[in-house]
Structure 1
Protein backbone atom coordinates (compact mmCIF):
# COMPACT_ATOMS: atom_id res chain seq x y z
CA UNK A 1 0.00 0.00 0.00
CA UNK A 2 1.01 3.60 0.51
CA UNK A 3 4.57 4.16 1.71
CA UNK A 4 5.07 7.95 1.82
CA UNK A 5 4.15 11.14 0.01
CA UNK A 6 6.07 11.44 -3.26
CA UNK A 7 5.25 15.09 -3.95
CA UNK A 8 2.98 18.00 -3.23
CA UNK A 9 2.01 20.21 -6.17
CA UNK A 10 1.65 23.97 -5.70
CA UNK A 11 0.36 26.39 -8.35
CA UNK A 12 1.81 29.86 -7.84
CA UNK A 13 0.77 33.29 -9.09
CA UNK A 14 4.29 34.67 -9.64
CA UNK A 15 6.77 31.99 -10.70
CA UNK A 16 9.98 33.99 -10.12
CA UNK A 17 8.87 35.13 -6.65
CA UNK A 18 7.80 31.62 -5.60
CA UNK A 19 10.94 30.02 -7.05
CA UNK A 20 13.04 32.45 -5.01
CA UNK A 21 11.01 31.70 -1.86
CA UNK A 22 11.24 27.90 -2.09
CA UNK A 23 14.90 27.79 -3.20
CA UNK A 24 16.55 30.81 -1.53
CA UNK A 25 14.40 31.28 1.59
CA UNK A 26 13.51 27.64 2.36
CA UNK A 27 16.68 26.24 0.77
CA UNK A 28 15.13 23.49 -1.33
CA UNK A 29 17.30 22.01 -4.07
CA UNK A 30 16.17 22.17 -7.70
CA UNK A 31 15.84 18.72 -9.27
CA UNK A 32 14.54 19.90 -12.63
CA UNK A 33 13.05 23.02 -14.17
CA UNK A 34 11.02 22.88 -17.36
CA UNK A 35 9.17 25.47 -19.39
CA UNK A 36 6.22 23.99 -21.27
CA UNK A 37 5.65 26.40 -24.17
CA UNK A 38 2.38 24.77 -25.27
CA UNK A 39 0.93 25.63 -21.82
CA UNK A 40 2.96 28.80 -21.17
CA UNK A 41 3.77 27.09 -17.89
CA UNK A 42 6.79 26.33 -15.73
CA UNK A 43 7.21 23.15 -13.69
CA UNK A 44 9.92 23.22 -11.04
CA UNK A 45 10.73 20.01 -9.13
CA UNK A 46 12.22 20.69 -5.70
CA UNK A 47 13.83 18.11 -3.38
CA UNK A 48 12.90 17.74 0.27
CA UNK A 49 15.56 16.22 2.54
CA UNK A 50 13.51 13.03 3.12
CA UNK A 51 13.23 12.24 -0.59
CA UNK A 52 9.83 13.85 -1.08
CA UNK A 53 9.33 16.65 -3.56
CA UNK A 54 7.43 19.87 -4.11
CA UNK A 55 6.30 20.51 -7.67
CA UNK A 56 5.93 24.24 -8.29
CA UNK A 57 3.74 25.14 -11.27
CA UNK A 58 2.82 28.39 -12.99
CA UNK A 59 -0.32 28.63 -15.12
CA UNK A 60 -1.45 31.92 -16.68
CA UNK A 61 -4.77 33.08 -15.28
CA UNK A 62 -5.00 30.42 -12.57
CA UNK A 63 -7.80 31.39 -10.18
CA UNK A 64 -7.05 32.17 -6.53
CA UNK A 65 -8.10 29.55 -3.98
CA UNK A 66 -9.06 30.10 -0.34
CA UNK A 67 -6.01 29.10 1.64
CA UNK A 68 -6.79 29.71 5.28
CA UNK A 69 -6.27 26.57 7.33
CA UNK A 70 -9.99 26.04 7.92
CA UNK A 71 -11.01 26.27 4.23
CA UNK A 72 -11.95 23.02 2.47
CA UNK A 73 -9.13 21.32 0.61
CA UNK A 74 -5.46 21.35 1.55
CA UNK A 75 -5.22 22.77 5.06
CA UNK A 76 -1.46 23.30 5.20
CA UNK A 77 1.88 21.72 4.35
CA UNK A 78 4.00 20.86 7.41
CA UNK A 79 7.78 20.49 7.54
CA UNK A 80 9.58 18.67 10.37
CA UNK A 81 12.48 20.71 11.76
CA UNK A 82 14.91 20.01 14.60
CA UNK A 83 14.37 23.40 16.27
CA UNK A 84 11.22 25.43 15.57
CA UNK A 85 12.52 28.55 17.31
CA UNK A 86 15.82 28.56 15.42
CA UNK A 87 14.15 27.89 12.05
CA UNK A 88 11.53 30.58 12.72
CA UNK A 89 14.33 33.04 13.54
CA UNK A 90 16.13 32.22 10.27
CA UNK A 91 12.91 32.78 8.30
CA UNK A 92 12.18 36.03 10.15
CA UNK A 93 15.70 37.29 9.37
CA UNK A 94 14.94 36.60 5.69
CA UNK A 95 11.80 38.76 5.85
CA UNK A 96 9.23 35.98 6.31
CA UNK A 97 6.42 36.72 8.76
CA UNK A 98 6.14 33.83 11.22
CA UNK A 99 3.28 33.37 13.69
CA UNK A 100 4.00 33.01 17.42
CA UNK A 101 5.23 29.54 18.37
CA UNK A 102 2.63 27.28 19.96
CA UNK A 103 2.69 23.85 21.62
CA UNK A 104 0.57 20.96 20.31
CA UNK A 105 -1.78 20.03 23.15
CA UNK A 106 -1.64 16.33 22.27
CA UNK A 107 2.06 15.81 21.52
CA UNK A 108 3.70 18.67 23.47
CA UNK A 109 5.68 19.51 20.29
CA UNK A 110 6.35 23.11 19.27
CA UNK A 111 4.95 24.38 15.98
CA UNK A 112 4.27 27.58 14.10
CA UNK A 113 2.89 28.76 10.77
CA UNK A 114 4.11 31.01 7.99
CA UNK A 115 3.00 31.43 4.37
CA UNK A 116 4.47 31.15 0.90
CA UNK A 117 4.20 34.15 -1.47
CA UNK A 118 0.64 33.15 -2.43
CA UNK A 119 -0.54 32.72 1.15
CA UNK A 120 -0.35 28.90 1.21
CA UNK A 121 -0.13 28.03 4.91
CA UNK A 122 3.14 26.28 5.77
CA UNK A 123 3.97 24.81 9.17
CA UNK A 124 7.19 24.12 11.05
CA UNK A 125 6.79 21.15 13.42
CA UNK A 126 9.34 20.19 16.10
CA UNK A 127 11.01 16.79 15.75
CA UNK A 128 9.50 13.64 14.36
CA UNK A 129 5.74 13.30 13.94
CA UNK A 130 4.56 10.00 15.42
CA UNK A 131 1.36 8.39 14.18
CA UNK A 132 -0.58 5.94 16.31
CA UNK A 133 -1.47 2.79 14.43
Structure 2
Protein backbone atom coordinates (compact mmCIF):
# COMPACT_ATOMS: atom_id res chain seq x y z
CA UNK A 1 0.00 0.00 0.00
CA UNK A 2 1.16 3.55 -0.69
CA UNK A 3 2.13 5.92 2.10
CA UNK A 4 -0.65 8.10 3.44
CA UNK A 5 0.14 11.18 1.35
CA UNK A 6 -2.36 13.88 0.45
CA UNK A 7 -3.54 13.49 -3.11
CA UNK A 8 -2.91 16.34 -5.55
CA UNK A 9 -6.00 15.25 -7.50
CA UNK A 10 -8.48 18.10 -7.97
CA UNK A 11 -11.23 16.47 -10.06
CA UNK A 12 -12.25 15.78 -13.63
CA UNK A 13 -10.80 18.13 -16.26
CA UNK A 14 -12.12 16.66 -19.51
CA UNK A 15 -13.42 13.63 -21.33
CA UNK A 16 -12.30 13.18 -24.94
CA UNK A 17 -14.77 11.77 -27.47
CA UNK A 18 -14.19 10.84 -31.11
CA UNK A 19 -17.29 11.70 -33.12
CA UNK A 20 -18.27 10.74 -36.66
CA UNK A 21 -20.31 13.87 -37.46
CA UNK A 22 -19.16 17.12 -35.87
CA UNK A 23 -22.36 19.01 -36.71
CA UNK A 24 -24.50 16.31 -35.08
CA UNK A 25 -22.19 16.20 -32.04
CA UNK A 26 -22.38 20.00 -31.65
CA UNK A 27 -26.18 19.85 -31.87
CA UNK A 28 -26.25 17.19 -29.11
CA UNK A 29 -23.54 18.42 -26.71
CA UNK A 30 -24.01 22.17 -27.21
CA UNK A 31 -27.64 22.71 -28.17
CA UNK A 32 -29.49 19.79 -26.57
CA UNK A 33 -27.38 19.38 -23.43
CA UNK A 34 -26.42 23.03 -23.05
CA UNK A 35 -22.62 22.91 -23.17
CA UNK A 36 -20.64 25.97 -24.29
CA UNK A 37 -18.11 25.83 -27.12
CA UNK A 38 -14.92 27.50 -25.95
CA UNK A 39 -12.55 26.66 -28.82
CA UNK A 40 -12.50 24.90 -32.18
CA UNK A 41 -9.33 24.03 -34.06
CA UNK A 42 -8.81 22.30 -37.38
CA UNK A 43 -5.60 20.27 -37.48
CA UNK A 44 -4.75 19.96 -41.18
CA UNK A 45 -1.90 17.49 -40.64
CA UNK A 46 -4.43 15.04 -39.14
CA UNK A 47 -7.48 16.14 -41.16
CA UNK A 48 -9.09 16.43 -37.74
CA UNK A 49 -11.18 18.87 -35.74
CA UNK A 50 -10.86 19.38 -31.99
CA UNK A 51 -13.73 21.25 -30.32
CA UNK A 52 -13.57 22.11 -26.63
CA UNK A 53 -16.89 22.22 -24.77
CA UNK A 54 -17.30 23.61 -21.25
CA UNK A 55 -19.95 22.10 -18.99
CA UNK A 56 -21.67 24.29 -16.39
CA UNK A 57 -19.46 22.96 -13.56
CA UNK A 58 -16.25 23.81 -15.45
CA UNK A 59 -15.42 20.28 -16.61
CA UNK A 60 -14.85 19.95 -20.33
CA UNK A 61 -15.53 17.62 -23.22
CA UNK A 62 -13.18 17.42 -26.18
CA UNK A 63 -14.88 16.46 -29.43
CA UNK A 64 -12.48 15.05 -32.02
CA UNK A 65 -13.01 13.97 -35.61
CA UNK A 66 -10.71 11.51 -37.34
CA UNK A 67 -11.16 10.16 -40.86
CA UNK A 68 -12.19 6.50 -40.90
CA UNK A 69 -12.31 6.11 -37.11
CA UNK A 70 -13.49 2.56 -36.37
CA UNK A 71 -16.72 2.09 -34.44
CA UNK A 72 -16.43 1.14 -30.77
CA UNK A 73 -18.96 -1.33 -29.40
CA UNK A 74 -20.87 -0.21 -26.34
CA UNK A 75 -23.40 -3.00 -26.15
CA UNK A 76 -23.05 -5.71 -25.15
CA UNK A 77 -20.89 -4.29 -22.38
CA UNK A 78 -17.39 -3.79 -23.82
CA UNK A 79 -14.16 -2.97 -22.02
CA UNK A 80 -13.34 0.71 -21.73
CA UNK A 81 -15.65 3.65 -21.34
CA UNK A 82 -19.09 2.35 -20.36
CA UNK A 83 -20.98 5.64 -20.48
CA UNK A 84 -20.69 9.36 -19.90
CA UNK A 85 -22.63 10.46 -16.81
CA UNK A 86 -23.70 14.10 -16.47
CA UNK A 87 -25.03 15.67 -13.27
CA UNK A 88 -28.35 17.46 -13.66
CA UNK A 89 -30.25 19.63 -11.19
CA UNK A 90 -33.75 18.77 -12.50
CA UNK A 91 -34.14 15.51 -14.41
CA UNK A 92 -37.66 16.35 -15.59
CA UNK A 93 -36.44 19.65 -17.08
CA UNK A 94 -33.55 17.85 -18.81
CA UNK A 95 -35.92 15.23 -20.21
CA UNK A 96 -38.18 17.97 -21.59
CA UNK A 97 -35.17 19.70 -23.17
CA UNK A 98 -33.90 16.50 -24.77
CA UNK A 99 -37.37 15.61 -26.06
CA UNK A 100 -37.60 19.07 -27.65
CA UNK A 101 -34.51 18.10 -29.67
CA UNK A 102 -36.02 14.74 -30.64
CA UNK A 103 -33.71 12.77 -28.38
CA UNK A 104 -35.27 9.62 -26.97
CA UNK A 105 -34.43 8.67 -23.39
CA UNK A 106 -34.96 5.43 -21.52
CA UNK A 107 -37.56 5.34 -18.74
CA UNK A 108 -36.37 7.05 -15.55
CA UNK A 109 -34.85 4.70 -13.00
CA UNK A 110 -33.84 5.13 -9.36
CA UNK A 111 -30.33 4.26 -8.19
CA UNK A 112 -30.83 1.50 -5.64
CA UNK A 113 -27.90 2.69 -3.53
CA UNK A 114 -28.32 6.48 -3.56
CA UNK A 115 -32.01 6.94 -4.32
CA UNK A 116 -31.11 9.35 -7.14
CA UNK A 117 -33.13 9.39 -10.36
CA UNK A 118 -31.39 8.87 -13.70
CA UNK A 119 -31.97 8.04 -17.34
CA UNK A 120 -29.92 7.23 -20.42
CA UNK A 121 -29.99 8.52 -23.96
CA UNK A 122 -27.46 8.10 -26.77
CA UNK A 123 -25.28 10.68 -28.46
CA UNK A 124 -25.28 10.76 -32.29
CA UNK A 125 -22.67 7.96 -32.39
CA UNK A 126 -24.55 5.72 -29.96
CA UNK A 127 -22.41 6.48 -26.88
CA UNK A 128 -24.61 6.00 -23.82
CA UNK A 129 -25.06 9.31 -21.97
CA UNK A 130 -26.53 9.19 -18.47
CA UNK A 131 -28.35 12.14 -16.95
CA UNK A 132 -28.05 11.72 -13.17
CA UNK A 133 -30.11 13.96 -10.92
CA UNK A 134 -28.40 15.18 -7.79
CA UNK A 135 -30.67 14.46 -4.82
Query: TM-score higher than 0.5 here?
Result: yes
Runs of 4+ in 1 over 6 A off after TM superposition: none
Q: Check 1:57–1:34 CA distance in 2 against 1; reply closer, same or farther (3 A cut).
A: same
Q: Check 1:52–1:90 CA distance in 2 against 1; reply closer, same or farther (3 A cut).
A: same
Matched, 1:60 2:67: yes
Q: Check 1:69–1:52 CA distance in 2 against 1; reply closer, same or farther (3 A cut).
A: farther
Instruction: Decide which structure has the larger Cα Rg and report it.
Output: 2
Matched, 1:4 2:11: yes
Q: If the length of structure 1 is used for normalisation, what is the TM-score?
A: 0.91
How do 1:3-22 and structure 2 match up within 5 A? 3-22=10-29
Aligned residue number for residue 113 of structure 2: 106
Aligned residue number for residue 95 of structure 1: 102
Matched, 1:42 2:46: no
Shift of 1:47: 0.2
Matched, 1:70 2:77: yes
Shift of 1:20: 1.9
Count matched residues: 128
Q: Tell me how far apart the structure 2 counterparts of residues 87 and 25 of structure 1 sit (CA, whole Å).
A: 9
- Give unpaired runs (5+ residues) of structure 1: 129-133
